[in-house]
Structure 1
Amino acid sequence: MSAEELNPFVIAQRQCDNAALYLPRLEPGLFEFLKRPDKLITVEFPIATSSGEVHNFVGYRCVHNRVRGPGKGGIRYHPDVTPDEVRALASWMTWKCAVVDVPFGGAKGGVVCNPKELSDEDLRHITRRYTAELNNNIGPHIDIPAPDVNTNARIMAIIYDTYEMMHKGENNLGVVTGKPVRVGGSLGRNEATSRGGLFVAQRALERGVLEGADSLEGLTVAIQGFGNAGGIAATLFHEAGAKIVAVSDSRGGVHCAEGIDPAAVHAHKKETGSVVGAGACTNCTNEELLEIECDILIPAALENQLRGDNAPNVKARMILELANGPTTPEADAVFHDRGIPVLPDILANAGGVTVSYFEWVQNNKNEQWDEDEVNAKLERIMRRATDGVLEEQARVNGSLDELTAERAQLGRNGDRLEPVDLRTAAFIVAVRRVALVSLDRGIWP
């Protein structure tokens, strides 16, 4: 048996290809254009670090597609950043924005570095230099970065300040989102990814995705990742009536079948730097957490956590992806065969980019919305998007014979199409929306 493909860009392309099977009238040449990134920028620069040494850093910024609006996507600081990872994440941003119908395209960036080995001063210098190197490749109506792995509101404020220094006399607040509220950020942005995932889970349960449960009340939840997304999700799901039974971070995790108090775990992590050892819990590894018996598993860390080799051992009844790309196609196939619904990343974690859009609108209009207004708008969009994906799945699975016949009539592969999972349904919604805008605009020249 060959090794499983874990290249995120290859996985992203496969997900698109699978969706295209169910869009028989999508012109193949247009589809190939939609799959491929518009551009990938590579920058390289030296930094005199606080250790007294000069180190060279490499950064990337990929714009996948701007048919529906400016590029939008986070910047991550991580030693494992690669061009293919950035290209994959940028493409997922295109589809994510389309699923929730936010008028942005997809982009993503990253710098190859380990923030845990760098001082705050080093990170400030890296951020300013990276921003200066990108220069006019980003902008409020061109490409709008946001926080991602190992970046935060402070880093976004530095990007804004650096860009502002190079573009005097303009309203540049919208060049980046996820800023501190006092620097033009939006109330509710910090919690938006997790809150959006909560709204998706609640709506999916209301629509009967998980047999025997129509709300979160009493359901058990395990969360891999206790950073911004996972840590806040633990609090929000706990407040909504769920029982948190396991959490983890990069060092490991804890498991307690009787339930975990998220506030106590947050306090423990603040004191020790990790969730490991929190409360009267049993320590576990990140791999072990994925196989803990629970109603809902929330991967909220990095890519490729759920794979063909461990998916058969997953005991969760439903999966909600707050991380980007945590599930490989092989794992998806296992979950589909086992009847385990996966609420996919391009839907489940789209709350972040949705409130980033709200922040961008507020910046451009010089407004500040209150948090209740932000959360109400977010809930409306996430519930509507969830309905759209569930209804698309039902529509496609109810017309497989017709779609197969249409493919054969058009000279496409005539093999009978298989029922789709929620990820494929979400991609169908997204690819169709981007394709229709492309056709409305026309192919230039």
Structure 2
Amino acid sequence: MAYDLTVLGKKAEAASYQLAQLETKKKNTVLLAMAKGLRDRTAEIIAENKLDLKKAAGLTQAFVDRLTLDEARVEQMAEGLEKVAQLPDPLGDLVGGWVNEAGLQIAQQRVPLGVIGIIYEARPNVTVDAAALCFKSGNAVILRGGKEALHTNLKLVSILQNALRNTGVTPAALQIVEDTSHEVANQLMQLTEYLDVLIPRGSARLIQAVVRNAKVPVIETGAGNCHLYVDNAADLEMAKQIIINAKCQRPSVCNAAEKLLIHKDVAASYLPQIAQALWDHHVELRGDKQTQKILGSRIKLATEQDWYQEYNDYILAIKVVSSLEEAIAHVNKYGTKHSEAIITNDYKKSQRFLAQVDAAAVYVNASTRFTDGFEFGFGAEIGISTQKLHARGPMGLLALTTTKYLIRGNGQIRK
């Protein structure tokens, strides 16, 4: 018998009406119960995660890193639930209000999107982040994770659903698609009768497949071809610390740096220093002809494809640029509109970079690794949107809401 997503869709739609009416105190109680469930059953989660890891042979180190859970990462997920519980509830907020010429009282109020579908790959933390943010914002959610994390995701959802059930909320608020085949993923993309929006999280290939094939409205989240530009007015020691952090702290994630642009005035003296520091962290370097001339044959000549590539690995491509204008042009051509940074002590240059770079997050003298819902104070994130409608950057509670107009009259008719 074929897997029927309409059953999940009907349950989610019914649940969404209940969730939209829940009081904030009740929602926070459920979120704290979810956090407690994760902590109490950490050993079970890790055991299921080990089953997934056994099947991960042959996958990249970056992929395995995203898949792996330990006690610290489970604790981070529990803390994320607690952070979301502490956040203000956006539902019911009045965005604006006025009286029109006919005497109608018009108010614009924040409401849930309804039913959200999420297609994602090997990061089990997405399961918990999505559950937390969708629930707090009054949305039902249908999750479809990758087959590589199926045991882990099923266990996490079971624990979270148990918290819902024990606190008197329908477990249909959070559902998971247990069939991880491409055919069923395509079904989810066509589920227009029940899904209000679909959010993909994962590789560029996954995201683009969803954008191309979905009939459900899609919020495109980001592949991260992130750049660091070291200006000739930069504090070079500070730049070194930022580069190492942005590339090496966790290279498998979308906000890690993938490209390094260096002004020609400092390239000859600075590139050997920063290259050695990166080699000490086992980073493979690729570069343009000028970079290769400075660093020698140890680095590969970067191809045109390299400038577009999101590596998610210990690989960095370097280009020497002649000016701030060239750096900005390069970023805007090859970047994925995710996160970009300039390192400079020149205020005017920093302001031009902030104004002219087209990205969801633009930094001055800081690592791109901070583009994250938790770091931005959202408790967690549903993803990092690289599009401009209707959300951009790390998406927290507000990004999972829309508005409706409430109009009160006393018998007005239109003439």
Q: TM-score, normalising length from structure 1? A: 0.30
Q: Kindly indicate whether structure 1 or structure 2 has the higher relative contact order, using CA contacts under 8 Å at least 6 residues apart.
A: 2
- Which protein shows a greater Rg? 2
